Amino acid sequence: MKLKGILMIIASVLVLSACDLSTDNTVNQSMKSEQEGVELVESTFDWRMAEGDTIRIMLNNHPYADAIIAELPGFETLTGIDVDFSLTEEEYYFDKVTYALSSETSDMDVFMTGVEQVWHYDDLDYIQDLTSFLDDEALTGLDYNQDDFFPSIMNILEDYNSEGKRLLAVPVGFEVFTLAYNKRIFKERGLEPPSTFEEMGKLASSLYEHSGPGTYGISLRGTRNWSMINTGYISYYAIFGARDFNIIDDGLVSDVNSEASITMNKAWVDLIRNGTSANWENLTWYDCADELGYGKAAMLLDADIVSLSVNNNDVYPEAGNIAWVPMPLPEGVDERYSNTWTWALSMSRNSKEKNAAWLFMQYFTGYDQLYKSASVFKNGDMPRQSIWEDEVYRSQLSQNEGYIESFEATIDHASILFTPHSQFFETATIWAEYIQKMALDEEADIEELLNELKEKTDDIVQNQ
């Protein structure tokens, strides 16, 4: 059974037990009293201020969404708000959100989003500034504690064009990029995880048909979609010293044909041709997870949370066999980079039930619900610092060999590695198209294709 189907089944099953996990229907917000260093605060915050309202939520099919769906009964009981939600696969999700935001007849209130989407939607004036909600004590409980979020995560959810502070989304989780590997396969063959990029490539090649036809070394996303370059690709692009754009006279000029980019792309194409699936160009996020979980791929270079979900899901035969290391650096390179992807909740500017929408966002990004996402649903990379400091949560994560160590080796070097601009999706999708051209045509002139890509990219950003 594929991961996209598994996630839907898990979400449905978890809803049945959600009443046991949900928050009590109470206006006393001292629920975090067990947190070390948090003072017990009595509050008369009114969770039922929007009782009787109905809000409509759009969610991407993801483990973070599973935790939200399972807790909806508790939210509805606490607030008296009815929630209608949709769950959509990532390949189609953002197109669906964009259509809803641009439609005058849409009644969507809240949606899951990433940072690059925030850039685009804010430029189109589609999303609501959340600052006024956070600053209003009648709308935000005293224990919400915005300062508990990792500052770097909150900063990237602010308007990059504004000198003033405008918060455009609140996080439910984030992802850094690491290398996951099947320790069973490695142990059976007397292998150690790679310590350099070059070793990773050789291992991937040597593990071709490691367990019979169709099995291979390393799984990588390959669809002609902006998300393909948003993963390990852009992380290694930065590690090799390449940049997407230079800023010249306040304008963007593509740098995809630099010497560093040419060197990186040649190395990446070699990894694709010699180490990954023969079906690489069709692999999505869900497919890569399945390939690792069913033992087809010996390694996965992608977001750390996807391999964590595989390792903790008994549906997969390889659950419990996954381990992690930081992305291996190229020989002679000692500066680490990782792209960061943040899943967050944003509010449509056209929402007609803004207070109810904000209560939803506040509830599902508050400490209690994020702690349940981490501990009950076994999600990693929580955006609240206090959860990472929790001994029970860390003990749970430590059962995943190398996960904490890889995260901690990566997090201080993680950031958004793309230059913010409103044409991101158009330029990134064309970029993915050219990676496919380079990888799938063995006669391809990589330098020539990167020159073409630069011309097309410059034309897009300079004529916006």
Residues 223-265 pLDDT 10s: 999 999 999 999 999 999 999 999 999 899 999 999 999 999 9
Q: Round to whole Å and give the CA distance between 60 and 40.
A: 35
Taking a C-beta distance cutoff of 8 angstroms, is the pair 53, 106 a contact?
A: no
Q: Buried b vs exposed e over 416-444: b needs ≥16 C-beta within 10 Å?
A: bbbbbbebbbbbbebbbebbbebbeeeee
User: Who has greater pLDDT, 9 or 94?
Assistant: 94
Taking a C-beta distance cutoff of 8 angstroms, is the pair 380, 407 a contact?
A: yes
What pLDDT is stored for residue 31 in this prediction?
A: 40
Which spans in 33-130 are helix H?
A: 63-79, 90-102, 115-123
User: Who has greater pLDDT, 29 or 313?
Assistant: 313
User: Who has greater pLDDT, 160 or 260?
Assistant: 260
Beginning with the edge strand found earlier in the chain, give each strand of the sheet holding 177-182 in spatial order.
216-219, 297-303, 177-182, 322-326
pLDDT tens string 17-47: 333 333 333 333 334 434 444 444 445 799 9
Q: Round to whole Å and give the CA distance between 365 and 359.
A: 10
Q: Any idea of the CA torsion for 100, 104, 108, 113, to the nearest 10 degrees? A: 40
Examine the pLDDT at 10 and tell me if it is beyond 60: no
What pLDDT is stored for residue 44 in this prediction?
A: 76
What pLDDT is stored for residue 91 in this prediction?
A: 84
Examine the pLDDT at 107 and tell me if it is beyond 60: yes
Tell me the mean pLDDT in the region 73-83: 98
State the DSSP code for 217. E
User: 87 has which bridge partners?
Assistant: 59
Which spans in 304-441 are helix H?
A: 304-311, 354-365, 367-375, 385-388, 391-397, 403-410, 424-440
State the DSSP code for 110. E
Examine the pLDDT at 2 and tell me if it is beyond 80: no
What pLDDT is stored for residue 164 in this prediction?
A: 59
Tell me the mean pLDDT in the region 414-433: 93
Strands 110-113 and 338-339: unpaired
State the DSSP code for 413. G
What pLDDT is stored for residue 422 in this prediction?
A: 85
User: 415 has which bridge partners?
Assistant: 339
Token digits of residue 244: 């997407």
What pLDDT is stored for residue 264 in this prediction?
A: 98
Tell me the mean pLDDT in the region 168-188: 97
State the DSSP code for 411. G
What pLDDT is stored for residue 161 in this prediction?
A: 67
pLDDT tens string 446-464: 999 999 999 999 999 988 6
Tell me the mean pLDDT in the region 335-353: 96
Longest Cα pair distance anywhere in the chain, in angstroms?
A: 69
Q: Round to whole Å and give the CA distance between 117 and 269.
A: 28
Q: Round to whole Å and give the CA distance between 286 and 184.
A: 22
**Cα–Cα nearest to 461, from 419, 417, 433, 410:** 419
pLDDT tens string 393-414: 999 999 999 999 999 999 999 9
Direct distance between the N- and C-terminal alpha carbons of the chain, in angstroms, rounded to an integer: 43
What pLDDT is stored for residue 158 in this prediction?
A: 87
What pLDDT is stored for residue 17 in this prediction?
A: 34
Contacts 24+ apart (CB under 8 A), 91-100: 91/223, 91/225, 91/284, 93/58, 93/60, 93/61, 94/425, 96/58, 97/58, 100/58, 100/348
Examine the pLDDT at 159 and tell me if it is beyond 90: no
Using pLDDT thresholds of 50, 70 and 90, give the confidence band for residue 299: very high
What pLDDT is stored for residue 156 in this prediction?
A: 87
What pLDDT is stored for residue 242 in this prediction?
A: 98
- Residues 150, 156, 162, CA angle at the centre, nearest 5°? 130
What mean pLDDT is reported for the chain? 90
Q: Round to whole Å and give the CA distance between 245 and 428.
A: 12
